[in-house]
Amino acid sequence: MADLIATPPRIFIQTFGCQMNELDSGKMLRLLEGDGYAATDQADDADVILINTCSVREKPEQKVRSLLGRYKGLKEANPDLIIGVTGCYAQQAKGELLRRFPLVDLVMGPDAIPRLPALVMDIQHSRSRSLATEQLDRQDYPFVNDVVVAQGGSVTAFVNIQKGCDNLCSFCIVPFTRGREVSRSADDVLDEVRRLAERGVREVTLLGQNVNSYGLKKSDAPAFHDLVAAVAGVQGIARIRFTTSNPWDLDEGLIQLYRDQQKLASYFHLPVQAGADSMLLRMRRKHTRAEYLLLVERLRQARPDLALSTDIIVGFPGETEEEHEQTLSLLEAVRYDFIYSFKYSPRPDTQAVSKYEDDVPGAVKKRRLAEIQDMQRLVTDERLQSWVGRDVEVLIEGPSKRDPQWLSGRIGQNWMVSLPGAARLVGTLVDVRIDEAVSNSLSGHANHRDTVARAGGRLTVL
Ligand code: SAH
Ligand code: F3S
């Protein structure tokens, strides 16, 4: 009897980096839940701690070191505590991590995720340390088919459609940490989307490093736009997003889908990295400035209210003032809704490191980044402001973090909107009038007169 009511062992996962890492953390959690573990948000309570790392830019080793410093006392108090380092930095540093950090029991790359329960059990039984960083580049790679829905009955979910990347952009470590590109079978993707929809998910984001090339290596796989169209056909799914998409594999089929398929959100994250052809060439991007601008034009023709975002790197080796100006002028030409911008940081194994010197001084990188961000800030503010007074469709995701009487959700263009309203609207599409643009989000009120009444001077959905 005692066994039945014993508290389950607990797992704590700390996640860094991109949406793929977030999804991976969810999958690791689900896999261990299947073995009787329960999630905790307190490292102090945990029997297993996983640090799911990112090595795309920052200094991942320092982050791991400082976290392990915090967990040292926990391990001393509980020698059975298992500490693992997972994700892209684990894949990059491999055995070096075990050598450098005696506290670490498990070093596991992204490809080993399906084996996590077995690896943990093995460490428990043998009390030995484990390294799982072999890469699986097989086309029958075993994607984890478990549905991952964030706690609290999520309205939105990520769905993995692809792993790895076959491009070798010269600055990028991802092809080394995540391996060759493999597409997940369309049947599995659709099956997962159906199961998510049954659990109340209304919006899915299809995830891959280079989603436009989905299926290209498999003769029997649909093209990416056909996959998106099939996902749109799943009952209950109201909205579809995807990331990341690269300009050179973007074809007419997807542009056409923006014209025809209203469930495809009016949002496109299309990384450009730089505005000068000479830089794009050194970065080994397979598009020119003119080709990129043409794509933007065609996308906007297909979907006039499309919101666009991008990634920019400043200070890539050899970047001249003139090249930097061209990035600024590209931002001006496109007028993105928002951008992610980064200072170049040399990454191990990449071609940029072996071929070029990191020769743009830190102060110059800093100034160029500030110039880019200052210019974009003005455009982003204008774009946000342009929503005021307009009617939009908001997919309500849950109560607002600031005020539980309020709800928050997103419009297709990806902006967060908060509005007063009742919890029963979570998971529904609500017609909203935007009243205000505040920092990086919008606020408004529901338009349905029959569901709205004034209470204490404030709009409340009954
Ligand atoms: N296709 C991937 C790209 C991953 S990296 C995806 O799913 O998003 C995300 C962004 O980080 C890149 O688009 C690039 O702008 C930036 N980045 C990658 N390597 C970098 C480096 N070495 N230095 C600075 N920024 C980098
Ligand atoms: Fe990286 Fe380029 Fe692939 S940015 S993930 S190598 S498309």
Q: The domain at 391-461 falls in which architecture?
A: Beta Barrel (2.40)
- Residue in the block written with tokens 């001084």: 361
Find the 207 Cα to ligand 1 centroid distance in Å: 15
**DSSP symbols for 279-336:** HHHHTT-S--HHHHHHHHHHHHHH-TT-EEEEEEEES-TT--HHHHHHHHHHHHHH--
12 lines ligand 1 (CB under 6 A): no
Find the 56 Cα to ligand 1 centroid distance in Å: 6
- Mean of the per-residue pLDDT values for the chain? 93
Q: Give the per-residue pLDDT at 457.
A: 38
Going by C-alpha positions, the residue among 210, 239, 226 that lies closest to residue 414 is 239
pLDDT band at 179 (very low <50, low <70, confident <90, very high): very high
Query: Is pLDDT above 50 for 6?
Result: yes
435 lines ligand 1 (CB under 6 A): no
The tens digit of pLDDT for each residue in 132-153 reads 999 988 888 888 877 776 545 6
Q: Distance (Å, rounded) from C-alpha 65 to C-alpha 399?
A: 36
- Average of pLDDT values for 205-223? 92
347 lines ligand 1 (CB under 6 A): yes
Query: Is pLDDT above 50 for 454?
Result: no
Q: Of 439 and 437, which is predicted with more confidence? A: 437
Ligand 2, atom 1, lies closest to the CA of: 172
Find the 10 Cα to ligand 2 centroid distance in Å: 35
Fold of 140-385: pyruvate-formate lyase- activating enzyme (3.80.30)
Share of the chain above pLDDT 90, in %: 85
- Within 10 A of 413 (CB to CB), how many other CB atoms are there? 19
Give the distance, in angstroms, between the CA of residue 40 and the centroid of all CA atoms in the same chain: 22
408 strand-pairing partners = 398, 418
- Average of pLDDT values for 335-351? 97
Q: Give the per-residue pLDDT at 149.
A: 66
Q: Residue 141 in contact with residue 155, Cβ under 8 Å?
A: no
Rama region for 299: left / alpha / beta (φ>0; ψ in -120 to 50; rest): alpha
131 strand-pairing partners = 107
Find the 353 Cα to ligand 1 centroid distance in Å: 15
Q: Give the per-residue pLDDT at 450.
A: 42
- Residue in the block written with tokens 């796989």: 221
Q: Distance (Å, rounded) from C-alpha 164 to C-alpha 174?
A: 7
Find the 287 Cα to ligand 2 centroid distance in Å: 13
pLDDT band at 459 (very low <50, low <70, confident <90, very high): very low
273 lines ligand 1 (CB under 6 A): yes
Give the distance, in angstroms, between the CA of residue 168 and the centroid of all CA atoms in the same chain: 20
- Residue in the block written with tokens 């459609």: 161
Atom of ligand 1 nearest to the CA of 208: 7
Domain with CATH 3.40.50.12160 in the chain: 10-134
Q: Let me know the angle formed at the C-alpha of 311 by 186 and 180, rounded to the nearest 5 degrees.
A: 40
Pairing between β-strand 452-455 and β-strand 458-461 as defined by DSSP bridges: antiparallel
- Ligand closest to Cα of 171 equals 1
pLDDT band at 287 (very low <50, low <70, confident <90, very high): very high
Find the 224 Cα to ligand 2 centroid distance in Å: 17
- Average of pLDDT values for 427-447? 94
The tens digit of pLDDT for each residue in 374-409 reads 999 999 999 999 999 999 999 999 999 888 899 999
The tens digit of pLDDT for each residue in 16-29 reads 999 999 999 999 99
Residue type, 391: D
Q: Give the per-residue pLDDT at 152.
A: 52
57 lines ligand 1 (CB under 6 A): yes
The tens digit of pLDDT for each residue in 53-66 reads 999 987 888 999 99
CATH (residue range 10-134): 3.40.50.12160
Q: Of 438 and 363, which is predicted with more confidence? A: 363
- Average of pLDDT values for 6-18? 93
Query: Is pLDDT above 60 for 210?
Result: yes
- Within 10 A of 236 (CB to CB), how many other CB atoms are there? 14
Ligand 1, atom 10, lies closest to the CA of: 311
Render the burial of 334-357: b for 16+ CB within 10 Å, e for the rest.
bebbbbebbbbeebeebebbeebe
Find the 104 Cα to ligand 1 centroid distance in Å: 28
The tens digit of pLDDT for each residue in 180-196 reads 999 999 999 999 999 99
Q: Give the phi and the psi of residue 438 in degrees, each rounded to 5.
A: -125, 125
Residues contacting ligand 2 via CB (< 6 Å): 165, 167-169, 172, 174-175, 209-210, 246
- Residue in the block written with tokens 């090595």: 55
Q: Distance (Å, rounded) from C-alpha 212 to C-alpha 302?
A: 17
Angle between helix 116-126 and 19-33 (nearest 10)? 60
Share of the chain above pLDDT 70, in %: 95
- Ligand closest to Cα of 54 equals 1
Query: Is pLDDT above 50 for 12?
Result: yes
Domain with CATH 2.40.50 in the chain: 391-461
Find the 293 Cα to ligand 1 centroid distance in Å: 20
Q: Is residue 177 within a helix (H) or strand (E), and if so which, with residue range?
A: helix 174-177
CA distances from 48 to 44, 98, 125, 410, 439 (A): 10, 17, 14, 35, 38
Q: Give the per-residue pLDDT at 127.
A: 85
271 lines ligand 1 (CB under 6 A): yes
CA distances from 247 to 115, 140, 183, 250, 302 (A): 35, 27, 19, 5, 16
